[in-house]
Amino acid sequence: MNICINNIVPYTNSTEDIAAAKRAQAFYTGWFLDPLYYGDYPLVMKENTGSKLPKFSQSQSKQLINSMDFLGINYYTFLYVKDDPHHAPSNKRNFRADMAAKSIFSSNSTSGFYVPGYGIQQVLEHLKQFYGNPPIYIHENGYPMHQDVVFGDGPRVEFLSEHLKNLLTAVRNGSNTRGYFAWSLMDLYELLSVGDTYGLYYVDFADDDLKRYPRSSAIWYKDFLKGRHTETGRFSDH
């Protein structure tokens, strides 16, 4: 199974926002993972959604628990959550109203927001603590930039370096993470409508042969995999 997961944190240190962040964790992550590890949806989801949420039979719950070989995650950014008293659970199908919280995504694109690398460590620590430390493969983790950046994608190098450092810290702390895949190998069509791509390789979409050229991140990542990096943007002498 693969899910997209964010590092969910309270918008402020208020009691209301802390409680809202816990609800958001249940709605965004627990909705998918709790049935697979506990055999049922999170309690706060059942309380807030009532009869709108299907119920598992005992047989279904038993079949679900520990039914995955591993957990794949796509991780990119933080999700800041604040209490939203203007929304409250109702009889209508409304995800935000049932969660009673407002979600604010932190962008890791050219909008100028910086996504700290420790977010990935916190996500892995959460999965270790609440879901029995399952085998994890990070299927997607990357940094979007304008597609017209042909070579010098330094912010992407910094993003990858910081996230890999924090991934290593999580593994040293006991996380059962077994694999990591940078997203993506080359520019894709998926975000061209907004001008952003994640590719380590630049693709010339104006060329009939779609020629590809390595960006600085591709060179950095290749050397990282060969063990030639000591810190962000720098290489060892050998």
Report pLDDT digits (tens) over 148-186: 899 999 999 999 999 999 999 999 999 999 999 999 999
Phi, psi of 113 (to 5 degrees): -75, 140
Q: Pick from 132, 147, 169, 165: which is nearest to 231 by CA?
A: 165
Least confident of 9-18, 90-99, 181-190, 228-237: 228-237
93, pLDDT greater than 90: no
For residue 81, give the amino acid letter.
Answer: V
**Amino acid 77: pLDDT:** 92
Question: Per-residue pLDDT averaged across 182-211, rounded?
Answer: 88
pLDDT of residue 222: 94
- % residues pLDDT > 90 (the chain): 77
Prior bond to 184 cis, omega within 30?
Answer: yes
Q: How far is CA 238 from CA 158, 222, 232, 233, in A?
A: 21, 14, 16, 15
> What are 31-74's pLDDT values in tens digits?
999 999 999 999 999 999 999 999 999 999 999 999 999 999 99
CA-CA distances (angstroms) from residue 90 to 84, 94, 185, 205? 14, 8, 44, 48
Q: Check if the beta carbon of residue 151 is closer than 8 Å to that of residue 213.
A: yes
pLDDT category at 114 given cuts 50, 70, 90 is: low
Lowest mean pLDDT among 19-28, 44-53, 119-128: 44-53
Q: What per-residue confidence (pLDDT) applies to 193?
A: 63
Domain ranges of the chain: 1-67+78-106, 115-238
Length of the chain in residues, anyone?
A: 238
Q: Would you place residue 83 in the very low, low, confident or very high pLDDT band (cuts 50, 70, 90)?
A: very high
The chain-wide mean pLDDT, for the chain, equals 90
